[in-house]
Structure formats: C-alpha cells, structure tokens
Structure 1
Amino acid sequence: MLVSINPKLPMRNRNKTIDYYVNYLGFKKVGTFDYPEYLILQKDDIEIHFFLFEALNPKENYGQVYIRTTTIDLLYQSLLNDNVAIHPNGRLEPKPWGQKEFSLLDPDSNLLTFGESLNK
C-alpha cells in the first residue's frame, strides 16, 4: 500500500532554499538534525525534500512538483499579498483539464504548480 510521495528537488544554496520556502511560502523544517547537503520541508500534509546540487544551472533545471490544494484562491491571494513572484506564464486560471492552477519558480527554478479541482 502506497501512502504518500515526497518529491526530491535540487537546491544550490540551502539557506536560500530555507528562506524562500519558510519565509515566503510558510513551510517549516522537519527534523532536529541539520544535514548540509539535504533538507526536508513541510507544510500541512506535504513534504518536499531537497538535495544539494551546487553546480545546477537554473536555466537547465526541469525540477517540477504539482501540489494539490483545497484553498487555491486563498493561497494565491496570500502569496500576492506577501509579494511572492508568480511565474510569468502561471497566473491563477481554470485549465481545460478541470483544475484551477497557478505556478511559482523557486530560487533554483524548480517549478511549483498548485492546483484545485473544479469538479467538486
């Protein structure tokens, strides 16, 4: 039985990743030990894991994660209120596949897409 999935994304700088996800997106660090080359962050019922990849070229990063939510409008507005940059092609809008979505790029150009079902 599968119970969850925890994506692993590359990061070039652990402190910048922590700053973005904790201070801008509202995640928190998981665990009591600090590993310089690994990081686990959590918000609500999701976890995202990060591995150090200092040589990463953000223009060549195709890291992506799709995060489902039940409060897409509230989440989107709170990020706008906090001046979090929305992906230029990722503003909040309904999609033909029955989701309402928006996207962000983190400091390493990992694409975070948030979506809520329109078919409730």
Structure 2
Amino acid sequence: MLIDINPKLPMRNKEITKTFYLQKLGFKVFGNADYDGYLMVERDKIQIHFFEFKELNPKENYGQVYIRTNNIEQLYQAFINNKTEIHPNGALKMKPWGQKEFSVLDPDNNLLTFGQSLG
C-alpha cells in the first residue's frame, strides 16, 4: 500500500537551502504556498521537505537521504558542470553491493547519496 516517501531534513536558513537545491542540484520549489520555516523541493519524481532548525549544529547533523537514479553518469556530470561540490569521500564509483554511487553535502550537512543499480 505504500506509494511514496518524502524525507524531511533540517535546515538553518530557508533561502540558503532553497538556493543550493535550485541552483546547484536542479530542483524546483514544490507548491504555491510559502510556509514560514518550511520548504518543499522536487526534481523529476522525488520531493524533499525541509523544516527550520536555526540552532542546528551542522557538525552534529546526521540527516541522510539515498536517491535512486536511472542515469548516474549524466546526473554526476551535470553536478560537476554546475560546480556542485562532491563529498570528499563520495566520488562516483561502483560499490561492492552493486550500486554506482556518489554523494554531496548540502549547506546543513545533510548527506545526499545518489545511486544506480548496475547489477
């Protein structure tokens, strides 16, 4: 019966988060309403929601999302072309579990890992 999931991640500053996801990762704002302290973005078939947490210490934030794609090479190259910083330990590579993956950190240290099954 489950049909979708929309992770909620913490953000310290709505405008900084919005700018990062729209300009660096190619998302767009979801919906017409602008809720105070809340942001919803989407790209293709996924949404990520954010709640305001001004006191968040990014060094203590362990928010993580795994996002599956069907064209990891193209997505990775688009991020590189857009000068999106790839996580130092998250370069594009094949993992032992049969996924080709890479990762980025958003401005609040939420880890976004993108993966494609190639097995």
TM class, shorter-chain normalised? over 0.9
What is the aligned length? Answer: 119
What amino acid maps onto 1:93 in structure 2?
K
Q: Deviations over 1:50-99 (max 9, x none)?
A: 00000000000000000000010001011111110000000000000010
User: Structure 2: which 5+ runs fail to align?
Assistant: none
Partner of 1:80: 80
1:67 aligned onto 2:67: yes
1:3 and 2:16 correspond: no
CA distance in 2, matches of 1:53, 1:104: 20
Q: 1 CA distance for matches of 2:91 and 2:30? A: 30
Matched to 1:63, the amino acid is G
Aligned-residue offset at 1:118: 1.2
Pairwise CA RMSD of aligned residues? 0.5
Tell me, in whole angstroms, the C-alpha distance in 2 between the residues paired with 1:34 and 1:9: 17
Alignment of 1:31-110 (within 5 A): 31-110=31-110
Structure 1, unaligned runs of 5 or more: none
Distance 2:13 2:91 in 1: 27
Instruction: State the partner residue of 2:111.
Output: 111
Determine the C-alpha separation between the residues in 1 that align with 2:104 and 2:25: 10
Give the percent of matched residue pairs that are identical in Structure 1 and Structure 2. 63
TM-score (norm 2): 0.99
